[in-house]
């Protein structure tokens, strides 16, 4: 499809069904969830293990080709955990695995196919035993671009950005731009420059759902049920 053809009412109905499914089957898998979580493709968001917590206004997007996986496998009797702060967004294909502890701060954006792990999972010489592990800390307002890998023991400072397909094996300071394999600093961010944060989407006093509804109405304006069916059955260059 070259554009979306379904009408607004179909978008709204799907949203209601998705929310009900998520509340019944997905939310109980978390140890705790903050206010107003939102899930797209909740059937493809897999939560496995104990001590997985997310904050307020957590958004996650799963798909059949790129499911989200949050998995805790405690290391040698330890207490693995995944803690994600307020206003965070997790995109399709993101995988987070913890043996002893992964913590992600507020307002973070994890783009498609990011991978965060606090363990090697296999030893270099003894492949049947777990490898080394060390906690991962991601600060506030961090943006991990497409397909970033964050290895065990890494701390990423507030406001930093890691470029697409980078492999982060060492700490990233606050207000830095890193990229490459292994990731190195390629720029910096002015902490005093004007900026918008994800929390601003929810701090205006207007409910986020109202904002989304208005956006969907405008995006799908003019779409009809018959036009939708025609686009599905008889697609052409105009669809």
pLDDT at 130: 77
Q: Are residues 49 and 162 in the same domain?
A: yes
pLDDT at 1: 60
What sections of the chain are H helices per DSSP?
Answer: 8-21, 208-219, 225-233
Residue 120 belongs to domain with CATH number? 2.160.10.10
Q: Left if phi > 0, otherwise alpha if psi is -120 to 50, otherwise beta: which for 67? A: beta
- The DSSP letter of residue 189 is -
SS (HEC) of 125-152: CCCCCCCCECCEEECCCCEECCCCEECC
Distance of CA 131 to the CA centre of its chain: 26
pLDDT at 181: 97
Most confident listed range (15-24, 154-163, 196-205): 154-163
Q: Give pLDDT tens digits for 183-237.
A: 999 999 999 999 889 998 887 777 888 888 999 999 999 999 999 999 999 888 7
Catalytic residues: 122
Q: Are residues 122 and 51 in the same domain?
A: yes
Q: Are residues 180 and 101 in the same domain?
A: yes
Alpha-carbon distance 39 to 45, whole Å? 8
How much is the pTM? Answer: 0.92
Q: Are residues 42 and 79 in the same domain?
A: yes
pLDDT at 76: 62
pLDDT at 129: 79
Q: Are residues 208 and 175 in the same domain?
A: no
For 16, 56, 72, 99, 175, the CA distances from 49, given in Å and listed in that order, are 27, 21, 5, 10, 33
Q: Give pLDDT tens digits for 117-152.
A: 999 998 888 888 778 999 999 999 999 999 999 999
Q: Are residues 169 and 68 in the same domain?
A: yes
Q: Are residues 222 and 193 in the same domain?
A: no
Q: Are residues 108 and 221 in the same domain?
A: no
Tell whether the model's pLDDT for residue 157 goes beyond 80.
Answer: yes
Tell whether the model's pLDDT for residue 175 goes beyond 80.
Answer: yes
Joined together, the tokens standing for residue 71 give 């998995």
Q: pLDDT band for position 86 (50/70/90)?
A: very high
Q: Are residues 101 and 16 in the same domain?
A: no
For 63, 143, 171, the CA distances from 33, given in Å and listed in that order, are 21, 22, 28
- Mean pLDDT, rounded, of the chain: 93
Q: Are residues 185 and 224 in the same domain?
A: no
Q: What is the percentage of the chain residues whose pLDDT exceeds 70?
A: 97
Domain range for residue 223?
Answer: 1-30+204-239
Q: Are residues 108 and 182 in the same domain?
A: yes
Q: Are residues 69 and 187 in the same domain?
A: yes
- For the chain, how many structural domains are there in total? 2
């Amino acid at each position: 499809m070259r554009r979306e053809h379904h009408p607004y009412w179909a978008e709204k109905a799907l949203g209601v069904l998705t929310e009900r499914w998520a509340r019944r089957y997905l939310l109980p898998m978390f140890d705790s969830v903050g206010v107003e979580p939102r899930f797209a493709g909740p059937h493809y968001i897999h939560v496995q293990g104990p001590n997985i917590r997310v904050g307020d206004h957590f958004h996650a997007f799963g798909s059949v080709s790129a499911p989200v996986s949050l998995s805790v496998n405690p290391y040698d009797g330890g207490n693995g955990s995944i803690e994600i702060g307020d206003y965070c967004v997790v995109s399709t294909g993101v995988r987070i695995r913890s043996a002893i502890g992964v913590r992600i701060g507020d307002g973070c954006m994890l783009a498609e196919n990011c991978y965060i792990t606090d363990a090697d999972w296999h030893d270099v010489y003894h492949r049947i035993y777990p490898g080394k592990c060390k906690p991962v800390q991601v600060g506030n307002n961090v943006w991990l671009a497409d397909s970033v890998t964050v290895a065990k023991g890494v701390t990423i400072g507030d406001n930093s950005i890691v470029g697409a397909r980078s492999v982060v094996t060492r700490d990233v300071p606050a207000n830095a731009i890193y990229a490459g394999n292994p990731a190195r600093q390629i720029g910096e961010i002015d902490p005093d420059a004007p900026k918008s944060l994800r929390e601003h989407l929810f701090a205006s006093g207007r409910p986020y759902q109202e904002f989304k509804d208005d956006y969907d109405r405008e995006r799908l304006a003019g779409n009809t049920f018959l036009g939708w069916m025609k686009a599905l059955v008889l697609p052409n260059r105009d669809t």
